Amino acid sequence: MKRLLVIEDGTEYAEFARLFLGSEFRVIAAQSAAEAVCAAEAEPGCALLIDLRFDRASQDVLTGDLDATAERLFAGDRVRALRHLQDQQGVLILAELRKLGHRQPAVFVHDFPSRRLENLRRLYGDVRAVPSFDAQALRLALGGEA
């Protein structure tokens, strides 16, 4: 059976995946970058289903350099930088996984504009997106070619 690593700050994605993709995928859940890295190391090659926004995650579990982000994007404003890290955490976790050599397809449930998706593919290879929780579309995205 194929394996699916679900990375999110809650449990909704994993619950959905178990219910509607469970016949094809064994679902493994991770709720932070650290957990995602551990799971990916333990289960190499599993497909990735990633939530973009980690609104509920606390600062200590977020990946990304808060001070550097504040300096680079928000004129030193750490509060805005923290919100930015939360809003974009899914992509930053994917960046961590790619750095460690995990090249499997990564799927987001998000309607990325085409320009952003092009950027993500240029940066991180096989990145796919489906606009809503559609089991068939997710199945295709996780199993087919981009």
| Residues making contact with another protein (CB under 8 A) | 12, 15-16, 18-20, 53, 73-75, 77, 80, 88, 91-92, 95, 109, 111-113, 115-117, 119-120, 122-123, 131-135
CB of 44 to another protein, least distance (A): 23
Give the residue ranges of DSSP H helices in 9-77. Answer: 12-20, 33-42, 66-73
CA angle 84, 110, 105 (to 5 degrees): 100
**Whose Cβ is closer to another protein: residue 77's or residue 126's?**
77
| Closest approach of another protein to the CB of residue 74, in Å | 5
Angle between helices 33-42 and 89-99 (to 10 degrees): 40
Smallest separation (angstroms) from another protein to the CB of 40: 18
**CB closer to another protein, 3 vs 112:** 112
Helices (H) and strands (E) in the chain, counts: 7, 5
